[in-house]
Each structure stands twice: as structure tokens, then as C-alpha cells.
Amino acid sequence: MTATTQEATPKTTPLYDSHVAAGAKIVDFAGWAMPIHYGSQLKEHEIVRNDAGMFDVSHMCVIDITGADAKDWLRTLIANDVEKLGFEGKALYSGMLTPEGTVIDDLIVYLTYYGYRMVVNAGTADKDIAWMLKQAEGRDVVLTVRRELAMIAVQGPNAIEKACKVLHEDWEATVKGLKVFQGFPFGSVEEGWFIARTGYTGEDGLEIMLPADEAPLFWKALIGVGVAPIGLGARDTLRLEAGMNLYGHDMDETISPLQAGMGWTIAWEPADRNFIGRAALEAERAAGVKMKQVGLVLEGRGVLREGLKVVVEGVGEGVITSGTFSPTLKHSVAIARIPAGTGASAQVDLRGTLTDVRVVKMPFVRNGKKVFE
């Protein structure tokens, strides 16, 4: 063992000290020292489903996109079409693809009065920025990486009500009037506050970007009005119940969005919009997409976990890409990639025993309630 290098030290968010003070168990997440839970992942999950909890997602990366070519450039960069952003603040979920039609990252892009704002994953941010800069060569596109911003997701049925108690009182009516998947700056862009009605839990709520130096006080104020800190452990069980993909698990640069449940994010029309990866996806679609993403349900004992083999008799094999115990449903659920011809049932190799599972359409849980049949 030699001396550790500077690069090996996990990065910390502006809220790191707040997490430690709240008793968080800290783990390395994509090179960031992040809270996995503050005592019980299950309790934290239930708080978000029933009341209001908050996540430090400051490790995610905010990028502002301006310049005369910004719109045209985004229409080639990502598979969904920013032309669909019909009003200021509207957000769009999309994959950013390789020319081979696989997923570099999944992201959200907002239309703002000054241009566009994009939020990308923590672990992929450096790769994304390098790719974006390469694609922007020779274009009038300016990328501004906003690493000076923190980001807090407040989620749950009481999230917006509670968050409004500590947000600027002049903002309350606007925040409560935000449409789902809409967000915009509050105050000037430079001041750094940007509030969106988005999230990753299947509950209503806000994602609040704010200046890093204001984040600890705002976090404390949210605790003061009964918003509980929630770790990344519960974030994973919540998003999985909501049937939402996690980059590096449910898709990556080896998988096409058509096989990863992201077909709905591809804007095929207009046919002359030549986004990166389009030709590969069209060829894949024409040949017939071989695998599909589904939900699996195990109602008996045991837990489905990432990497387990899925066997579909007479059809072929697949793999679980995310699996967990569902705290809301009290049994295990999973996201899997399986042969396109699979019907309503399959088997999972569970610790050496082929165990029957049901194949369902996701999500599993929405607004706290079971949604699949």
C-alpha cells in the first residue's frame, strides 16, 4: 500500500458536515462521500412515501447551455427533442447517446429564459462534459458548469407544503403553481436559486438548486419544519418502486435505450432531425429489438438482486439490472432486461433455485400506492 493520492479522496458536497452531524453512515458513491442512511433505510423510505424527506443530490452536475446555436445543438446531442419544450421552465427527460445508439447518460434539460439548464449524473459528469465539448466544437454554444451550486430534493406528499414554509414567502404562490416537470430560476440566475417540481421517488416534490454556501442553513431550516434527511439507500428503493432507471445499472454505454425502457424518450419525429445515435436505433428497430425492460415481482420470500439470471422457458435468458426489497409492498421487486418474446412469467436463479416471478409493467408504486396488477 502506498500513499493515497489526492484523486483517491472522495469528493464532498457542501452538506457533508450536516450529514455527519445528523449521524449519517457515509459511503463512497461514484467518488463522492455521501450518506447511505441516517439510521434506518426502511424508516427513511416510509417517511418519503407518507410525509416529506430530503436528499442531498449536490453531487449531480448542473450545466447551463447558452449561445446562438444552443437549441440546434441540443437537437442533435440528445435523443429527445428540445423542440417539445413548449413553455419556459418545461423540463424534458432524455438519453444522450453514442453514435452506436447506446446510453452515455440520462439527463433532464429545462428551457429557461436565458437558454437551457441540464442536470446530469454525478458519476458520468466528467465524461458527459468532455463529450459535449467535443460535439460543440465549431458551434456557438457555451457550457457553464455550475459546480458552485448545491442541490436538495424534497420529496413526499407533504414536501411542497413544508418546503414553502422555509422558502422566500414571495415565492410561495409560484412554487405551488409549478406544473409537474417544470422549474425555473427564482431571483437572478447568478443568485443561484432554481426550483423545479421534479424528483426521483414517484412522489410529488421539488428539486432545489441553490448556492453551496447557503445550503447548510437551508438544510437545517428544512429539518426545522419536519423534513427528514434521507440517504441514498432509500433513494434507491424509492426510485426502484417508481420504476425509474439508474445509470450504470439499468443502462449504460453497452445498452440501447430501446432495450432499457427508454423508448418513450426517443423523439422519432421529425424524421429529419439527425440526433446522435439515430441511425443505429433505426437499424435496431428495423431488425427487431431483441430485449425489453420489464418489472419482476417475487411475492414469496427472498430478495431479487442486480446481476441475477432470469430464465424464460422456451424463450431465452435475461438479467436483473436492479433489484430490492420493496418497503412499500413488503416483498421483492426488480427491473430486468429479458427477451422481447417473454410473456407474463419467468424464473430467477435465486441462490441456486429457479424461482417463479411475475412479469409486470412498471412502475410498481406511484404516490404511495401499488399500481401494477
Partner 1 sequence: MSNVPAELKYVNSHEWLRLESDGTVTIGITDHAQELLGDIVFVELPEVGAQLDAEATAGVVESVKAASDVYAPIAGEVVEVNVELEGSPELANTDPYGAAWFFRVKPANVADLEACLSAAEYTKEIGA
Assigned C-alpha cell, 315: 424463450
CA distances from 357 to 4, 136, 165, 361, 364 (A): 45, 46, 45, 13, 14
Binding mask 134-153 for partner 1 (x = CB under 8 A): --------------------
In the numeric block, which cell numbers belong to residue 128? Answer: 458527459
Nearest Cα neighbor of 223 from 14, 12, 19 is 19
CB of 45 to partner 1, least distance (A): 9
* Sole window of 112-120, 145-153, 264-272, 299-307 interacting with partner 1 (rule: CB under 8 A): 299-307
Closest approach of partner 1 to the CB of residue 249, in Å: 15
Residue 282 Cβ vs partner 1, minimum distance, rounded to whole Å: 41
207 labelled binding-site residue? yes
- The footprint of partner 1 on residues 37-96 (CB under 8 A) is 37, 40-42
Q: Is 321 in the site for partner 1 (CB under 8 A)?
A: no
201 binds partner 1, rule: CB under 8 A: no
Query: Is residue 305 involved in binding partner 1 (CB under 8 A)?
Result: yes
Read off the C-alpha cell for 192: 443561484
Per-residue binding string, partner 1, 343-372, x by CB under 8 A, is --------x---------------------
Residue 9: count of CB within 10 angstroms of its CB: 10
Print burial letters for 167-188: b (CB count within 10 Å at least 16), e (below 16): beeeeeeebeebeebbbbbbee
Binding of residue 249 to partner 1 (CB under 8 A): no
**What is the rounded radius of gyration, in angstroms, for the C-alpha atoms of the chain?**
21
Helix and strand numbers, DSSP H then E, in the chain: 9, 21
- In the bound state with partner 1, the residue whose beta carbon lies nearer, of 121 and 237, is 237
327 binds partner 1 per the rule CB under 8 A: yes
Residues near partner 1, by CB under 8 A: 37, 40-42, 233, 237, 301-303, 305, 324-325, 327, 351
